[in-house]
Structure 1
Amino acid sequence: MANNSLLLITGGSGMIGAHTVQQALEAGYRVRATARPQKVDILKERFDGKVEVVGIADIAHGDYTEALESVDAVLHLAAPLPGEVGAAEMIEASVGGAMNIIRQAAAKGVKRVVYTSTMLTLPDVDKQHISIFDTTRVTSENDWNPATKESALEGEHRPEYIYGAAKVVAEREVWKFAEEHPEIDITTILPPVTYGPLLNTKIPKGDTGALAMLAIFYANVLPEGGSSVDIVDQYSAVPFSVHSVDVRDVAKAHILALTAPLEKEVGRKRIIVTSGPIPWVDAVEHLRATRPELAGRLPNTSKVTKRPVGKVDVSKAGSILGLTEYIDWKKTVDDTVDSLLAVEREWAKAD
């Protein structure tokens, strides 16, 4: 695909979406992005008018006719985050959102689609402690979370279960569509929890939801009680946060997928992108050693014992995308903290 091709990137105002837009521009692509109507002007301003932005209020039922005009490839990243909405709405947004844009793109003759899935489509989230901490096996793209739409809608579940169920149902629908439309090349990118810098640190005061996945890091690595509190057991409290990746590597994977070899074998390009675990304990100890000015902000880590984590096969990210090197976890931690402190400074101005 030529570098001056026109890309449609949905969810351009999100954390991963914004970095994907930025890297697409840096690679020479022309970019059209979608965002919620109230974020259209914000997104235009963020990229100095270099990105055309189309407002889409409802990703599951919205009309993409205008947005898809003359588009060469679609990168679909728009989706709610865990805990943002209830099970029914999460499933509708994830499944309906994916299939709505992909069907409309196919009807417009678009031949290449990159879809953002998640590593939560791999383990049995009800038994996640087994699959994540089992050091005798390697998790790969051949694994599938057995959750269903029905199981997500029945009973009470943790947000990560609902999110994983919605995304696994959505991704199965995407691959079913790929089987029926072999003329369309589809790649799914499966990242774990994503850390790294925010491109926009001007967030309304107290709106931790706008921090996306950094909200988890913020609450536990830079807790409100600082050194007076004990760091929580990451593996018990938020098991899906064990594996992690830098947002810039996730964005890079999306851009590399645009020029990956075309494959006829459905499922061939289901690609896990992770650099491995970033235990909060390690993040805190790194910051304690390198950022003495943060000593009062860092929680006590003496009462938590780290646990071994099972391995994940990321070989296809290398063989298909050419993504073989990841940003060092210490840089990810440093840049994440710098972003969060910048957000706090913005909040302080609002006082």
Structure 2
Amino acid sequence: MANGELVLVTGGSGFIGAHCIVQLLEAGYRVRTTLRSLSREAEVRAMLKADGVQSDVQLSFVVADLLKDAGWAEAVAGCDFVLHVASPFPASVPKHEDDLIKPAREGSLRVLRAARDAGVKRMVLTSSFAAVGYGVPVTSQPFTEESWTNPDAPEVAAYYKSKTLAERAAWDFIAREGGALELSVVNPVGVFGPALGADVSTSIEIIKRLMDGAMPGLPRITFSIVDVRDVAQLHLLAMTDPAAKGERFLAVAGKSIPLQEVAQILKTRLGEAAARVPTRLLPDWLLRVFALLDRSVALVVPELGKVRQVSNDKARRVLGWAPRSNEEAIVASAQSLMVLGLLKR
């Protein structure tokens, strides 16, 4: 339990950020979180209450934007730790890659400078598997923390490039001018689990579309999953464990899973509530046609037929992390959408 230490969480209105706040408050930390506008404060407090937080008196808010210097010195003042979770994550391909790269890289460096100058002990950066497993050959061997995305590969999408360049910039900053500030990095795969509010993440949107029957069929894609509650726990472990200093940790529940199996889990576990979930596979050529008309489909096409395995051995071995199963994360996602009334009636 914390001795009232103060932790800054950037992007507290986001999926991972909100769950980090929940676990920090439950562990006895004081928490400050950044929002781009205080108009979302009530929404964040409602999200925490929905997750069973008994008291949020130890939570405060400050305005700060990843693209602006203003507010960051105030945000980190007096903080023992920083969880830098905020980063843009699009539902479709951006018109220009700098729309993602600039806030991801420059935002991380802004927070790092402010944290160093304020005497913060350690910052945990939320990176992504996007910075680990793209633009390189996919083999039967699992990706590990030693793996890095090649941002110069022509097939690497802007989001993957943004996460890679932001994380690289963070490690370079620590090496060259970090001073006493320590850095740890968490690299989640697709983050599922219980949504706390109506503004759902890109990953949860997949479950929503399945449950609503918004997909005519299933693309032939396979991906790795992790529960958001386990991602938040890994952030806290990376924040406090001495062994996490200077290390990156992949957050992944287990073996990758085909979308067709995700659909089957929903139908098996949720019965009539999952009646709209499709089960038939879409042919690859049809997805390529759809991609010409829909930018969100264009993100899927390069992944057709690829199977990436990802190892969670390091987080388990070094930090004692024990994540929930793929199935538990998938079902929790759908159940939260039902409870929040976010599915078609």
Q: In structure 2, do the counterparts of structure 1 residues 220 and 347 end up closer, same or farther at CA, with 3 Å as the change threshold? A: closer
Matched residue of 1:7: which SS? strand
CA distance in 2 between counterparts of 1:2 and 1:302 reads 49
Question: What is residue 104 of structure 1 aligned with on the other side?
Answer: 114
Q: SS state of the match for residue 67, structure 1?
A: helix
Residue equivalent to 1:207: none
1:127-166 CA distance string (max 9 Å, x none): 5xx42xx21x221111111115xx78xxxx7xx7111111
Structure 1: how far apart are the matches of 2:157 and 2:143? 18
Deviates most, 107-116 or 286-295: 286-295
Spell out, residue by residue over 1:3-62, the C-alpha distance to the aligned partner (whole angstroms, 9 max, x if none): 421000001110000000001111111101111203233224444643101122444533
Any idea what the Cα deviations from partners look like across 1:60-107, whole Å, max 9, x if unmatched? Answer: 533312211211010000111034654112111100110001101101
Aligned counterparts of 1:256 and 1:3: Cα–Cα separation in 2: 16
Aligned to 1:197, the other structure's residue is in SS state: coil
1:220 touches 1:280 (CA, 8 Å); kept in 2? Answer: no
Q: Is the 8 A contact 2:66 2:106 kept in 1?
A: no
Secondary structure at the counterpart of residue 74 of structure 2: coil
- Write the deviation string for residues 236-285 of structure 1: whole angstroms up to 9, x where unpaired: xxxxxx11111111111001112211567x4xx11111013233222222
Aligned ranges 1:94-243 → 2 under 5 Å: 94-125=104-135, 130-131=137-138, 134-135=139-140, 137-148=141-152, 161-180=157-176, 181=178, 183-201=180-198, 203=199, 210-220=200-210, 222-224=212-214, 229-235=216-222, 242-243=223-224
Instruction: Note closer, same or farther for the CA distance 1:339–1:295 as it changes in structure 2 (3 Å cut).
Output: closer
Q: 1:8 to 1:217 in 2, by over 3 A?
A: same
In the alignment, structure 2 segments of 5+ residues that lack a partner are: 49-54, 285-303
Matching residue within 332, 335, 338 for 1:338: 335
CA RMSD of aligned residues (A): 2.8
1:43 matches 2:33: no
Shift in alpha-carbon separation, 1:62–1:223, aligned structure 2, 3 A? farther
- Give the total of aligned pairs: 314
Partner of 2:100: 90
Q: CA deviation at 1:234?
A: 2.1
| Structure 1 unaligned regions, length at least 5 | 204-209, 236-241
Return the letter of the residue paired with 2:319.
L
Give the match for residue 318 of structure 1.
Answer: 316
CA distance in 2, matches of 1:42, 1:234: 34
Equivalent residue letter for 1:188: V
CA contact (8 A) 2:100 2:159 kept: yes
Paired letter, 1:261: P
Question: Is the Cα–Cα contact under 8 Å of residues 211 and 274 in structure 2 kept in the other structure?
Answer: no
1:68 is the counterpart of 2:73: no
Label 1:103 to 1:259 Cα distance change in 2 as closer, same or farther (>3 A). Answer: same
1:55 matches 2:63: yes
Hey, what's the Cα distance between the residues in 2 that align with 1:25 and 1:329? 26
Which residue matches 2:33? 33
| Residues 3 and 245 of structure 1: CA distance in aligned 2, closer, same or farther (over 3 Å) | farther
1:245 lines up with 2:245 in the alignment: no
Report sequence identity in percent.
29
TM-score (norm. length: structure 1) = 0.80
**Which region of structure 1 is more displaced relative to structure 2, 213-222 or 21-30?**
213-222
Q: Does the residue aligned with 1:74 lie in a helix, a strand or coil? A: strand
Alpha-carbon spacing, 1:302–1:310, altered in 2? closer, same or farther (3 Å): closer
